[in-house]
Structure 1
């Protein structure tokens, strides 16, 4: 079966997946390919190499080239966390020349140092699976903890104690959002490495939230 024939199968009760696989969908009597199926995809056909037979797998257990299993929740987490971390790094970078307290500048530096390597790992994870770094269908602005453009603008314009106050408040909210996203991944993802990353991330950002809380209490 070659890729040019897959679209024909889609009209016979088969849905195409972005990974180049085919998920079989069950339509109830009276359903059509243009209607919403009554049951979700449950099996996936993964094309083999030329001359090899296709393999069938559970839709939430697609195999990566290294043999690890992953699903759409894993992919969405990696894509969205790249954008989420990027905003945290943007906010942390503003502390240089704006923060009034040395403690805020130091913590901002630690945040950047911790999150950039995580972005690199997530990019590599997506690249190894042939996935794009971002999905236009994802609403990055609506992710938990993401700060609005106007809030970032106000932070950029702030100086001294005003910057410190805004930075602490915004970064606590941002970190809590990342923890929520990590929890969603741990509940629904299947990739073991990503689960480890999400767990480490939640612990690390919890520690930073406590430091930020201490700064806000002392400010």
Structure 2
């Protein structure tokens, strides 16, 4: 009698297993969709929103213009503090451009966005502003460059704060915080140099 109960239980378990296995092997059984082509999301594609994309698309040309402004320092000033600051700006922002470009490429998003032209994003200088800066020398250059770079950095802070508040990507948020920390310190330094 015990062996009949065990045999019955075993048969019931085997039948249940067969039914469950049969259901699991059919890709369309429960959903009506072919699940054999469903793939896990790409980690670079997942975990970002429009605020993250806007930050990357806006910050790339913003940083590129800061690099352009930093390169103008060479030959236009003898102020070692301005020369040093320009070198540090280049050293900090060039890798950030590469990081942001990599994020956009990973997301399959184009680099150009609504902020790609000079003067269109917060703190961006116009072509005329840059031309005037390029004509200045020595103390006049220092004053104009520092004032423009403060304004430029303030625009970057605004963009980074928006990314922190509205973004969802951890890497974007970490970079936005890095931009805030670094550029706020540089603004303080530039205001000190302006006197």
1:142 aligns with 2:127: no
State which of 37, 52, 74 in structure 2 corresponds to 1:52.
37
State which of 129, 152, 158 in structure 1 corresponds to 2:107.
129
CA RMSD of aligned residues (A): 2.2
Deviation, structure 1 residue 111: 0.5
Name the TM-score, length of structure 1 as normaliser. 0.69
Structure whose CA Rg is larger: 2
1:65 aligns with 2:43: yes
State which of 188, 200, 211 in structure 1 corresponds to 2:178.
200
Moved over 4 A (4+): none
Query: For the Cα contact (< 8 Å) 1:73–1:189, is it kept in 2?
Result: yes
Residue segments in structure 1 that go unaligned for 5+ positions in a row = 1-48, 56-62
What is the CA–CA distance in structure 2 between the aligned matches of 1:50 and 1:89, rounded to whole Å? 49
Residue of structure 2 equivalent to 1:96: 74
Name the TM-score, length of structure 2 as normaliser. 0.77
Residue segments in structure 2 that go unaligned for 5+ positions in a row = 1-33
Q: CA distance change for structure 1 residues 68 and 180 in 2, over 3 Å: closer, same or farther? A: same
Q: CA distance change for structure 1 residues 93 and 84 in 2, over 3 Å: closer, same or farther? A: same
Deviation, structure 1 residue 67: 6.9
State which of 71, 83, 94 in structure 2 corresponds to 1:116.
94
Deviation, structure 1 residue 138: 3.9
State which of 138, 144, 158 in structure 2 corresponds to 1:160.
138
Query: For the Cα contact (< 8 Å) 1:84–1:146, is it kept in 2?
Result: yes
Q: How many pairs were matched up?
A: 162
Query: For the Cα contact (< 8 Å) 2:45–2:108, is it kept in 1?
Result: no
What is the CA–CA distance in structure 2 between the aligned matches of 1:134 and 1:67, rounded to whole Å? 18
Deviations 1:7-55 (A, max 9, x none): xxxxxxxxxxxxxxxxxxxxxxxxxxxxxxxxxxxxxxxxxx9943599
State which of 175, 190, 193 in structure 1 corresponds to 2:153.
175
What is the CA–CA distance in structure 2 between the aligned matches of 1:168 and 1:107, rounded to whole Å? 10
